[in-house]
Amino acid sequence: MRSHRIALIPGDGIGPNVVEAAFKVGEAVAAKEGFTLEPTYFPWSCEFYAETGAMMPEDGIETLRGFDAILLGAVGWPASVPDSVSLHGLLLPIRKAFVQYANVRPHRLLPGVEGPLKAESFDILCIRENTEGEYSGAGGRVHQGGRDEVAVETAIFTRTGVERILRYGFEQARLRSGRLASVTKSNAQKHSMVFWDEITRELAEEYSDVEVTSYHIDAMAARMVMAPQSLDVVVASNLFGDILTDLGAAIQGGLGFAASANIDPTRSGPSMFEPVHGSAPDIADKGIANPLATIWSLAMMLDHLGEGEASARVMRAMEAATRGGIGVRPGSDTTGAIADAVLNAIERD
> Cβ closer to Mn ion: 242 or 333?
242
Q: Which parts of 272-291 interact with ligand IPM (CB under 6 A)? A: 276, 278
**315: partner contacted, choices Mn ion, ligand IPM, none (Cβ within 5-8 A by kind):** none
C-alpha triplet 133, 246, 15: angle, nearest 5°: 95
Tell me, yes or no, if 135 is annotated catalytic: yes
In the complex, minimum distance from the CB of residue 207 to ligand IPM, in angstroms, rounded to a whole number: 27
**Contact call for residues 172 and 128 (beta carbons, < 8 A):** no
Buried b (16+ CB within 10 A) or exposed e, 305-344: bebeebbebbbebbebbbeeebbbeeeebbbeebbbbbbb
Catalytic residue among 49, 101, 168, 185: 185
Question: Does residue number 338 form part of the binding site for ligand IPM (CB under 6 A)?
Answer: no
Q: Report d(CA 64, CA 58) in Å as an integer.
A: 12
Q: Clarify whether 333 is annotated catalytic.
A: no
Q: What DSSP string runs through 217-239?
A: HHHHHHHHHH-GGG--EEEE-HH
Which range binds Mn ion by CB under 5 A, 65-73, 84-92, 119-127, 237-245? 237-245
The residue number whose beta carbon is nearest to Mn ion equals: 242
Establish whether 242 is a catalytic residue: yes
Instruction: Name the active-site residue from 83, 123, 197, 246.
Output: 246
Alpha-carbon distances, residue 81 vs 51, 55, 70, 145 (angstroms): 12, 10, 23, 21
Helix (H), strand (E) at residue 138: strand 133-142
Q: Over the Cα atoms of the chain, what is R_g?
A: 20
| Binding flag, residue 125, ligand IPM (CB under 6 A) | no
Burial class (CB in 10 A: 0-12, 13-18, 19+), 222: exposed
Shortest Å distance, C-beta 96 to ligand IPM: 11
Q: Do residues 108 and 46 make contact, with C-beta atoms less than 8 angstroms apart?
A: no
Q: CA 232 → CA 209, 257, 307, 339, distances in Å?
A: 15, 18, 24, 29
Binders of ligand IPM in range 197-256 (CB under 6 A): 242
307 binds Mn ion per the rule CB under 5 A: no
**One of 87, 97, 221, 247 touching ligand IPM (CB under 6 A):** 87
- Residue 173 interacts with, from Mn ion, ligand IPM, none (CB under 5-8 Å by kind): none
242 vs 303, which CB is nearer to Mn ion? 242
- Residue 143 Cβ vs Mn ion, minimum distance, rounded to whole Å: 31
Q: Is 286 a catalytic residue?
A: no
- In the complex with ligand IPM, the residue whose CB is nearer, 242 or 303, is 242
303 makes contact with ligand IPM (CB under 6 A): no
Residue nearer to ligand IPM on the CB measure, 27 or 246: 246
Instruction: Please say if 148 is a catalytic residue.
Output: no
How far, in Å, CA of 7 to CA of 321, rounded? 27
Going from the C-alpha of 74 to that of each of 17, 49, 183, 249, the distances in angstroms are: 10, 14, 27, 16
**Which residues are near ligand IPM by CB under 6 A?**
87, 242, 276, 278
Active-site residues, by number, are 135, 185, 218, 242, 246
Binding region for Mn ion (CB under 5 A) = 242
